[in-house]
């Protein structure tokens, strides 16, 4: 069975603005994935003589994969809740490698800042877009043109 395609917007239709909050959060989660991947390798290497090395490596890789997967969920509130759980998990990795306490807290603060400021920017952008649309309506401008203006004489 063929998939149904979304209808294409008319030419000249402005694209909806992307969420700054999603952009900030996904950037932070991607950086966290890299950090957890390489930190997992380092932590497993320092504990290679212990039977827990494989669990440490697997846990770090799981958190790294969860970071990437969570990027796909950021358009829903669940994505942000999972993001907070990832921050807690990174801090808890400090019990394996003490430096992860610092790294986890720094990423937690970065996550908080990115999510709150991203939301503030999104709200400001909505207000700006609404004011722009009202101004264009008051000026008699049509922003949703379907093509170039005709030049009939």
> pLDDT band at 153, cuts 50/70/90?
very low
> pLDDT tens across 92-150, in order?
999 999 999 999 999 999 999 999 999 999 999 999 989 988 888 888 876 554 444 44
Give the closest residue to 104 by CA, choosing from 89, 118, 119: 89
Query: Could you identify the residue written with the tokens 């990115």?
Result: 114
pTM for the full model? Answer: 0.79
């Amino acid at each position: 069975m063929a998939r149904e395609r979304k209808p294409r917007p008319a030419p000249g239709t402005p694209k909806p603005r992307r969420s700054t909050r999603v952009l900030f959060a996904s950037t932070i989660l991607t950086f966290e994935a890299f950090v957890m991947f390489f930190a997992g390798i380092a932590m497993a290497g320092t504990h290679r003589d212990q039977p827990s090395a494989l669990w440490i490596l697997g846990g770090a890789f799981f958190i790294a994969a969860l970071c990437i997967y969570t990027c796909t969920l950021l358009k829903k509130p669940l994505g942000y809740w999972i993001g907070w759980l990832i921050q807690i998990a990174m801090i808890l990795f400090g019990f394996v490698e003490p430096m992860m306490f610092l790294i986890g807290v720094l990423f937690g603060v970065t996550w908080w800042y990115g999510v709150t400021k991203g939301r503030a920017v999104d709200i400001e952008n909505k207000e700006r877009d609404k004011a722009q649309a009202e101004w264009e309506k008051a000026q008699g401008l049509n922003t949703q043109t379907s093509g170039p203006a005709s030049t009939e004489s």
